[in-house]
Chains A and B, each alone.
Chain A
Amino acid sequence: MDYIKAFITGGLICVIGQILIDKTNLTSARILVLFVTLGVVLTGLGIYEPIVEFGGAGATVPLPGFGYALAKGAIKGVKEKGILGAFSGGVMATAGGIAAAIVFGYLTAVLFDPKSKN
Chain B
Amino acid sequence: MESLDVKQKKINEEYQKYANSISPKSNTVTNCIMAFLVGGLICTIGQLISNIAKNYYNMNTEEASATTSITLILIAALLTGLGLYEKIGKRAGAGSVVPITGFSNSIVSPAMEHKREGYVMGIGAKMFSVAGPVLVYGITASVVVGLINYFFIK
Contact = CB atoms under 8 A, between A and B. Distances in A.
Given A67-B141, A110-B123, A10 B44 contact: yes
Task: Please report whether the interface of chain B is mostly helix, strand, loop or mixed according to DSSP.
Answer: helix
Contacts of B81: 108-109, 111-112
Q: How large is the interface on A (under 10, 10 to 19, 20 to 34, 35 or more residues)?
A: 35 or more
Contacts of B142: 40, 67, 70-71, 73-74, 89-91
A50 interface: no
Contacts, number: 284
B88 to A, nearest CB: 13
Contact of A97 (B41, B69, B129, B145): B69
A47 interface: no
A62 B93 contact: no
A51 interface: no
B138 A70 contact: yes
Given A62-B100, A114-B115, 7 more contacts: A6-B46, A10-B39, A18-B28, A37-B138, A61-B100, A101-B103, A108-B108
